[in-house]
């Protein structure tokens, strides 16, 4: 066999592997850089049952960002294998299938075909020793890791994640963390849609909470859902907030969910106090500074006339956060614009931020968020009704179902239903056309 034929055969085998390199993840550099920042905020506490999966995804992202990151990627893949074995309390098993697949691809991309072939052989050996419980399905360990990974990307990926969690849990129902993450993923996917979270879902959440009592993020999500249904959870909120403060800092610690519970109750001072205390305990954690900036923005947005000193403080906080998150600053820059917009004297600065963002090469989902935000800014701050309608329509025209698209549709529907604007007929026709061209797919994340 010629060298060219050998390489073709090797690549064909690699493409059949189940790993990050074959899962059709978003490969845009700006998305990967943002994902890397998000993963860094999850933290690497040894108690995290997903630590190996975090390292695997970090290794993939580092490699995709350029050849200079290859050594960093190898290091992460090595740490992933160690973490996975430590979590499962064994030195080898099917949980290494994705990791070995990643390493096979890394060596192949580095021109190290012998090493790549060696990892292909390791994958084959693991599959033979640990076959899937269901002959027609991927191994549950692969399904679970693929599901967890997909949750970190687009809405479409998140929907697909639900299917893989269902497959994994169906074959191996004793893995509590899979069931917990499945429910958290569903809650996140429908965080703006209370109608999707009925009594059956709440019962599942309660059962999961009892099986996974140390998962404070799950406990916080469950409390928030109960609060949104009108239950009095004040005492439980205070108790859980204290527990969260005593745990390692992580974007999955539950603190941000707790802050949103306080916000829903208009308890902005309590939210700010919790974030302040957390940051005092861990002054070097950028995630907590981000939480504090969020709380102060909520606070001034709730005030009729925030003082210039208060606005300046919140502006300073948001600028620090943007510096700390250089690769995922789109929404954070829009947040800064909204703070500037609290002062009539700074509307020009808010406008300048939006105009700078419009010049960026953004993904459709980011454009949708930007158009929706700018439409509100034009309406409420510049009193530009026509411009606002134009940008709401731009947001709706992007065929991605999201909270922001629905929010723009509702804004246009209100104008249409009032019947007072000279563009009512145009808007009615526009919304009718959008309805005929909308994606009717039913999202089935839970069985």
8 A C-beta contact, residue 57 and residue 152: yes
Report residues of the chain scoring pLDDT below 50: 440-447
* Matching residue, tokens 């809405």: 155
- 308 three-state secondary structure: helix
> Do the Cβ atoms of 224 and 261 come closer than 8 Å?
yes
Q: What is the distance between the alpha carbons of residues 121 and 169, in angstroms, rounded to a whole number?
A: 28
Output the six-digit token pair for 389.
């309608």
pTM for the structure as a whole: 0.92
In the chain, where are the structural domains located?
3-130
Per DSSP, the residues of 178-242 read: HHHHHHHHHHHHTTT-GGGS-HHHHHHHHHHHHH-TT-HHHHHHHHHHHHHTT---HHHHHHHHH
Q: Tell me how far apart the alpha carbons of residues 172 and 387 are, in angstroms, rounded to a whole number.
A: 54
Q: Residue 147, SS3? A: helix
Other CB atoms closer than 10 Å to residue 64's CB: what's the count? 20
Is the alpha carbon torsion for 322, 55, 257, 216 positive or negative? negative
CA distance 67 to 69: 5
pLDDT of residue 1: 52
Check: CB of residue 241 under 8 Å from CB of residue 226. Answer: no
pLDDT attached to residue 10? 95
What's the alpha-carbon Rg for the chain, to the nearest Å? 24
What is the rounded CA–CA span in Å between residue 270 and residue 255?
12
pLDDT at position 189 is 85
State how far the alpha carbon of 320 is from the alpha carbons of 32, 248, 268, 335, 360, in Å: 22, 22, 21, 12, 21
Which of 221, 210, 289, 207 is CA-nearest to residue 253? Answer: 221
Task: Give the whole-angstrom CA distance, residue 312 versus residue 210.
Answer: 45
Residue 26: the pLDDT is 77
The rounded distance, in Å, linking the Cα atoms of 401 and 406 is 7
| pLDDT at residue 44, rounded to an integer | 79
141 token code pair: 């360990």
- The domain 3-130 having CATH identifier 1.25.40.10: the answer here is yes
């Amino acid at each position: 066999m010629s060298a060219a034929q050998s390489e073709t055969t090797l690549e064909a085998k690699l493409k059949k592997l189940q790993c990050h390199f074959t899962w059709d993840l978003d490969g845009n550099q700006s998305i990967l850089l943002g994902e890397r920042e998000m993963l860094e905020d999850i933290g690497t506490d040894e108690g995290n049952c997903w630590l190996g999966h975090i390292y695997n995804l970090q290794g993939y992202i580092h490699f995709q960002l350029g050849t200079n990151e290859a050594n960093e990627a190898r290091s992460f893949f090595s740490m992933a294998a160690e973490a996975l074995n430590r979590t499962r309390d064994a030195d080898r098993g099917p949980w290494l299938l994705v990791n070995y697949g990643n390493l096979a691809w890394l060596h192949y991309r580095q021109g190290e075909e012998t090493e790549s072939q060696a990892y292909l052989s390791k994958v084959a050996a693991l599959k033979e020793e640990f076959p899937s419980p269901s002959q027609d399905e991927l191994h549950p360990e692969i399904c679970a890791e693929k599901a967890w990974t997909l949750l970190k990307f687009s809405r479409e990926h998140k929907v697909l994640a639900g299917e893989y969690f269902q497959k994994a849990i169906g074959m191996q129902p004793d893995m509590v963390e899979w069931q917990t993450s499945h429910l958290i993923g569903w809650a996140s996917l429908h965080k703006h849609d209370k109608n999707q979270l009925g009594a059956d879902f709440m019962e599942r959440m309660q059962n999961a909470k009892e099986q996974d009592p140390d998962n404070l993020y799950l406990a916080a999500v469950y409390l928030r859902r109960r609060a949104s249904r009108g239950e009095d959870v004040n005492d439980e909120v205070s108790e859980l907030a204290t527990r969260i403060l005593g745990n390692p800092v992580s974007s999955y610690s539950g603190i941000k969910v707790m802050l949103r519970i306080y916000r829903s109750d208009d308890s902005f001072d309590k939210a700010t106090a919790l974030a302040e205390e957390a940051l005092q305990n861990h002054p070097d954690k950028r995630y907590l500074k981000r939480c504090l900036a969020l709380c102060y923005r909520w606070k001034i947005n709730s005030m009729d006339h925030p003082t210039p000193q208060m606005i300046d403080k919140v502006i300073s906080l948001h600028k620090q956060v943007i510096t700390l998150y250089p690769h995922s600053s789109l929404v954070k820059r829009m947040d800064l614009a909204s703070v500037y917009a609290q002062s009539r004297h700074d509307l020009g600065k808010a406008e300048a931020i939006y105009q700078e963002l419009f010049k960026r090469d953004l993904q459709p989902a980011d454009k949708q968020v930007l158009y929706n935000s700018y439409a509100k800014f034009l309406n409420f701050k510049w009193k530009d009704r026509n411009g606002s309608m134009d940008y709401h329509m731009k947001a709706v025209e992007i065929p991605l179902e999201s909270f922001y698209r629905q929010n723009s549709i509702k804004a246009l529907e209100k104008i249409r239903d009032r019947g007072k604007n000279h563009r009512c007929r145009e808007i009615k026709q526009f919304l009718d056309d959008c309805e005929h061209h909308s994606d009717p797919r039913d999202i089935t994340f839970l069985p």
